[in-house]
């Protein structure tokens, strides 16, 4: 099995392209096949090295390694021309000397397809006329002469596909400037690379009968096709920049993990046949079959992506997450690298904060109050839980600190002390917890307060409570 991903470097790697690459790659890896990367750069004006680089970077980030390539379509131009000239020589294509504007006007007048007008003009030339004009240097395009009848092929997703050839125009295969068009180049390249399976977007479905006709005219073996439905935005319209980030690089920058992105995109338009959602790359490879690509379009659900990301995040090794947290908090003057380097401390911290983070950046933010000695106090939390009634907040903090003094520093012991104190003060435990949370984390929300206390330890907790009281007094 030989598969390929054939992006045009006219833009960044977007989620639709990445999904196409993932499907081809999964099938290649499952079947022990070869995955080829071919950059289709024949549109010289719209292609750029920057886009090529972004595509390669995106593939590398996703972990989609290619076995051959990257090849550049432009390098095959001579072969594309030879194939076009061969069709011309065999009478399966013809020279079109006509002026496109004239042909268009005539086609409109006679209510015909322009290519049929061009064909009529070519066929009306006297014998030898076409060769003579070409030899004299007159410019011409080469058009493929679509035969009569119908074109059928099997699509792994859509089944038996039939197209009436009268609906297919005589496509230009070589422009008058000598450049090949996509439909010829792709056939020539896929045959040259001995590609056996082509998985690509539904937007190419109308090209496929033309390509199938070209394979047959050139006597080349046809690959098996699988056309994947579109990706839609939440509003049911084709996914575009209007819906938010569509470039793979944007997701990398947002702290999405590559394996979460691969998992998410693989499930967008494909199903493992059971109700699994969280899947590792190995599980995806084992389960993938193109027959289970769905026929209907699927909706890009960013909530699900975040959720999957959180799941994948939670199974990453502690040391790696520690490294990320350290990078995320690198600007903090009071960062406690000693704690991040302590595997036992990280093993205690991570389970508590992982469940509250769906991206690497969120994980870093969650770690901040524990990994740094200086807190950033959220002004809303300060206002709501300290400054509405400063005297009361001070009393609650002081009495809580007092109640904790001498307690064993465990969740159970601390909870006992706090609940007894609340009872003694005739108030709810929450009333004591809110100002305490701001004192310990600076934030309105945090992991469970007893988790926070134990993670911080006695000394840091007492110190923060003391600093809180000073701050409230000073304000």
Q: Does the protein bind ligand GLU through residue 8 (CB under 6 A)?
A: yes
Q: How far is the CB of 254 from ligand GLU (least distance, A)?
A: 24
Active site annotation includes 296: no
Cβ(184)–Cβ(213) under 8 Å?
A: no
Specify the 3-state DSSP secondary structure of 99. coil
Which segment (6-14, 80-88, 282-290, 408-416) binds ligand GLU by CB under 6 A?
A: 6-14
**Beta bridge pairs of residue 71:** 38
Q: Report in angstroms how near the CB of residue 133 gets to ligand GLU at its nearest.
A: 33
Q: Does 6 bind ligand GLU (CB under 6 A)?
A: yes
By beta-carbon proximity to ligand GLU, the closer residue of 7 and 58 is 7
Binding mask 193-222 toward ligand GLU (x if CB under 6 A, else -) reads: -------x---x------------------
- Could you tell me which stretch among 2-10, 79-87, 418-426, 454-462 binds ligand GLU (CB under 6 A)? 2-10
Which tokens go with 341?
A: 């380097």
CB 199 within 8 A of CB 23: yes
Query: Near ligand GLU by CB under 6 A, which window of 5-13, 61-69, 156-164, 334-342?
Result: 5-13
Q: Is 171 in the site for ligand GLU (CB under 6 A)?
A: no
Sheet holding 68-72, edge to edge: 68-72, 34-39, 2-5, 197-201, 224-228, 150-155, 159-164
CA distances from 231 to 234, 243, 295, 338 (A): 10, 11, 11, 46
The answer to whether 186 contacts ligand GLU (rule: CB under 6 A) is yes
Under rule CB under 6 A, residue 19 binds ligand GLU: no
Q: CB–CB of 163/119 below 8 Å? A: no
- CA-to-CA distance for 57 and 68, rounded, in angstroms? 16
Query: With respect to ligand GLU, which residue has the nearer C-beta, 96 or 190?
Result: 190
Of 14, 15, 28, 40, the one binding ligand GLU by CB under 6 A: 40
Do 378 and 443 touch, CB atoms closer than 8 A?
A: yes
227 binds ligand GLU (CB under 6 A): no
**Of 4 and 358, which has the nearer Cβ to ligand GLU?**
4
Minimum CB–partner distance for residue 265 and ligand GLU (Å): 16
Between CA 55 and CA 16 the distance in angstroms is 12
Return the range that interacts with ligand GLU (CB under 6 A); candidates 3-11, 108-116, 119-127, 426-434: 3-11
Among 2, 3, 7, 322, interactor with ligand GLU by CB under 6 A: 7
d(CA 418, CA 403): 7
Question: How far is the C-alpha of 226 from the C-alpha of 228, rounded, in Å?
Answer: 6
Q: Are 352 and 302 within 8 A, CB to CB? A: no
Q: Which residues contact ligand GLU by CB under 6 A?
A: 6-8, 40, 186, 200, 204
As annotated, the active-site residues are 241
């Amino acid at each position: 099995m030989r598969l390929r991903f054939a992006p045009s470097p006219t833009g960044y790697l977007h989620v639709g392209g990445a999904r196409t690459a993932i499907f081809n790659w999964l099938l290649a890896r499952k079947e022990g096949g070869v995955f080829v990367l071919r950059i289709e750069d024949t549109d010289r004006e719209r292609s750029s090295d920057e886009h090529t680089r972004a595509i390669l970077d995106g593939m590398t980030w996703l972990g989609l390694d290619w076995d051959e390539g990257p090849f550049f379509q432009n390098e095959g131009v001579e072969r594309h021309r030879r194939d076009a000239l061969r069709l011309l020589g065999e009478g399966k294509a013809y020279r079109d000397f006509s002026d496109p504007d004239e042909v268009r006007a005539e086609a409109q007048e006679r209510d015909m397809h322009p290519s049929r007008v061009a064909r009529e003009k070519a066929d009306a030339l006297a014998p030898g006329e076409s060769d003579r004009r070409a030899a004299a240097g007159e410019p011409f395009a080469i058009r493929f002469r679509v035969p009569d009848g119908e074109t059928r092929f099997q699509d792994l997703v859509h089944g038996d596909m039939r197209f009436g050839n009268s609906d297919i125009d005589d496509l230009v295969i070589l422009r008058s400037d000598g450049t090949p068009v996509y439909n010829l180049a792709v056939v020539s390249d896929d045959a040259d690379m001995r590609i056996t399976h082509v998985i690509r977007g539904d937007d190419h479905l109308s090209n496929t009968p033309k390509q199938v006709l070209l394979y047959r005219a050139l006597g080349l073996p046809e690959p098996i096709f699988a056309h994947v439905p579109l990706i839609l935005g939440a509003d049911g319209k084709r996914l575009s920049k209007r819906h938010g980030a569509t470039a793979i690089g944007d997701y990398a920058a947002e702290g999405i993990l590559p394996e979460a992105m691969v998992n998410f995109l693989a499930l967008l338009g494909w199903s493992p046949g059971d109700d699994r959602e969280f899947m590792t790359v190995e599980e995806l490879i084992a389960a993938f079959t193109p027959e289970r690509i769905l026929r209907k379009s699927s909706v890009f659900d960013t909530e699900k992506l975040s959720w999957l990301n959180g799941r994948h995040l939670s199974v990453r090794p502690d040391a790696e997450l520690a490294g990320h947290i350290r990078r995320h908090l690198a600007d903090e003057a009071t960062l406690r690298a000693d704690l991040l380097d302590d595997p036992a401390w990280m093993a205690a911290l991570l389970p508590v904060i992982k469940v509250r983070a769906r991206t690497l950046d969120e994980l870093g933010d969650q770690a901040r109050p524990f990994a740094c000695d200086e807190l950033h106090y959220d002004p809303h939390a300060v206002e709501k839980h300290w400054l509405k009634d400063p005297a009361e907040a001070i009393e609650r903090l002081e009495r809580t600190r007092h109640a904790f003094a001498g307690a064993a520093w465990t969740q159970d012991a601390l909870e006992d002390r706090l609940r007894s104190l609340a009872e003694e003060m005739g108030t709810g435990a929450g009333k004591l917890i809110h100002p305490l949370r701001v004192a310990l984390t600076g934030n309105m929300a945090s992991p469970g307060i007893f988790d926070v206390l134990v993670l911080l330890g006695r000394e840091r907790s007492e110190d923060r409570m003391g600093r809180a009281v000073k701050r409230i007094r000073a304000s």
